[in-house]
Amino acid sequence: MFSDFPIFPEVASTIAGRVDALYFFIAAVGTFFFTLISVLVLVFAIKYRRRSEDERPAPVHGSLQLELVWTIIPLILALVMFAWGANLYVDMYSPPGNALNIYVVGKQWMWKIQHPEGNREINELHVPIGTPVKLIMTSEDVIHSFYVPAFRMKMDVLPGRYTSAWFEATKPGKYHLFCAEYCGTKHSEMIGSVYAMEPTEYQDWLSRTSASSASMAEAGEELFAQLGCPTCHASDSGARGPALAGLYGSTVNLMTGETTTADDSYIRNSIIDPTSQITQGYAPLMPTYKGQVNEEDLLKLIAYIKSLALDSSHSVATEDSTKGPLESNE
Ligand code: CUA
């Protein structure tokens, strides 16, 4: 609507127009009541001014009707804003299941991006339009915040954990990327560009810029071998560590009796602080890899373990036939 008006950023994602609509609604309600109240203050000040020294106005005893009007109308308006905002919030923070995963590592003072295909970029992010993109983000040092105004998308990027955000670009173009959390001397230089491209151009870009043929999962597999992980995480029974095939997304029974889901954060934590969550039936033997693997390497290891989950889903047959053997195991 106001895309040519310079104080409003471009509208370039599926969510952007909806964010603006809510913003304009709240701004319109605010402007209306500000104007109404300002005018009434002036009008009443003049109309009910004291006209002589001995004037004594009649006492006011209130009006139930008036009380109801100025309670119910604002209540309805506030509830509309709440419901509208809550609905939008849920959509903004629930990435669609088919989203393309792209990994972001923030550090003082740059954005490092990894695509699952293995492409890496710094302070630039190339994405296809018409496809939901989920960013999985972490920081190597302090808190940063990944902000793309044209997509109305902003998410804090925290050290020691993963946060995620998603968007679907609708319009090809080059858009600003900012760090929106003060993170030190060159915070203001921690900027970049997001390039939204037609899907075919994006595929061209991927194949044109892939530095090596290794995908993130393949690079992770290499690292997995280098670090000696297969020694304990062999797939045969009797291994010292749990087998990792099919782990990603599954439910893990911990020694403490609790259960947890093997998501990105769980795997990261298992590498950095293994004794904090020992799988039931295993001894706390695993050493920490803190300091030996950086955030980007961690993401590669996770991508590798994720790919093992995909592999296992190929070999494990469909729902119907898995039911029998699974139940007989219990
Ligand atoms: Cu990173 Cu400000």
CATH 2.70.170.10 fits 7-45+95-212, yes or no: no
The DSSP element (H or E) to which 278 belongs, if any, is none
Residues 6+ apart with CB under 8 A from 290: 272, 273
CATH fold of the domain at 216-310: Cytochrome Bc1 Complex; Chain D, domain 2 (1.10.760)
| Ligand 1 atom at minimal distance to the Cα of residue 142 | 1
Residue 325 pLDDT: 36
- Please tell me the distance between residue 105's alpha carbon and the centre of ligand 1 in angstroms: 12
pTM value surpassing 0.85: no
Residues 6+ apart with CB under 8 A from 311: 245
Residue 3 pLDDT: 55
Cβ-in-10-Å burial (0-12, 13-18, 19+) of 48 comes to exposed
308: left (phi over 0), alpha (psi -120 to 50) or beta: alpha
Residue 314 pLDDT: 40
Using CA atoms, how far apart are residues 60 and 278, in angstroms rounded to an integer? 72
Would the CB of 105 count as within 6 Å of ligand 1?
A: no
Residue 271 pLDDT: 82
Would the CB of 121 count as within 6 Å of ligand 1?
A: no
Would the CB of 179 count as within 6 Å of ligand 1?
A: yes
- Please tell me the distance between residue 109's alpha carbon and the centre of ligand 1 in angstroms: 7
- Please tell me the distance between residue 135's alpha carbon and the centre of ligand 1 in angstroms: 17
- Please tell me the distance between residue 108's alpha carbon and the centre of ligand 1 in angstroms: 7
- Please tell me the distance between residue 143's alpha carbon and the centre of ligand 1 in angstroms: 7
Cβ–Cβ under 8 Å, residues 80 and 113: no
- Please tell me the distance between residue 157's alpha carbon and the centre of ligand 1 in angstroms: 9
Instruction: For ligand 1, atom 1, name the residue with the nearest CA.
Output: 144
Would the CB of 104 count as within 6 Å of ligand 1?
A: no
Pairing of strands 251-253, 259-261: antiparallel
Q: What share of the chain is helix, strand, coil (3-state, %, to 5)?
A: 40, 20, 35
Q: Where are the domains of the chain?
A: 7-45+95-212, 216-310
| End-to-end Cα spacing for the chain | 59
Mean pLDDT for back-to-back runs of 10 residues, the chain (330 residues): 69 92 95 96 92 84 91 95 95 88 91 87 92 92 94 92 91 93 92 93 84 74 78 68 76 80 80 78 75 80 77 39 35
Residue 78 pLDDT: 95
Residue 313 pLDDT: 43
